[in-house]
A and B are shown apart, each in its own frame.
Chain A
Amino acid sequence: DQQVKQNSPSLSVQEGRISILNCDYTNSMFDYFLWYKKYPAEGPTFLISISSIKDKNEDGRFTVFLNKSAKHLSLHIVPSQPGDSAVYFCAASREGNKLVFGAGTILRVKS
């Protein structure tokens, strides 16, 4: 049962443009959402998170939007840079329970 889904396996974006990565979830009990970035041969690194009491959280070039009614969140990267090329994982959790990850989206930023 895939509770967290990233339906786009890959995304290609031109340098300087916006990258939008999407994530859908099915469990309405999730109350905390995170994005992780993973480079080859490295472990995932935490990027940004959002609590279910908010609908937007911004950190520099990265903004996460949460639409609870649609059970959808998205990560916006503006402007995209070649160094942003990586696999992005969406994750969700509820109090005291494990992080559930999506399958990941490969982002390629072309220079």
Chain B
Amino acid sequence: KAGVTQTPRYLIKTRGQQVTLSCSPISGHRSVSWYQQTPGQGLQFLFEYFSETQRNKGNFPGRFSGRQFSNSRSEMNVSTLELGDSALYLCASSLQLMNTEAFFGQGTRLTVV
């Protein structure tokens, strides 16, 4: 059974640009969550999607958005990139809403220059 797949693995963008990250959950999983990991901050929750609807949202500015498709695949978009957005972005999937075991992808390392 394939795990959670995130693409691309690495990305370099310039300040002011926008970026779209993709996440394919484990087959059959309906919940997808996104996290930002920076040194010393742990995993900061961005948002969670379940059945194409955003169910939970973290404390990030509106520049961060996401969506989920009918096949449970999810995309995350960051507009008007800032240097501080440089981080590892992790996607996690689970069968139901994200209150139990979640399976993580390898992440997308975003560098904003």
A interface, CB within 8 angstroms of B:
6, 9, 32, 34, 36, 41-46, 49, 89, 91, 93-104
Contacts and interface: CB of A to CB of B under 8 A. Distances in A.
A32 B105 contact: no
Nearest to A41: B106
Contacts of B76: none
Contacts of A49: 100-101
A41 B97 CA distance: 26
Contacts, number: 64
A32 B97 CA distance: 13
A99 B45 contact: yes
A73 B5 CA distance: 31
Interface in B28-67: 33, 35, 40-45, 48, 56, 58
Contacts of A104: 42-43
Contacts of A6: 42
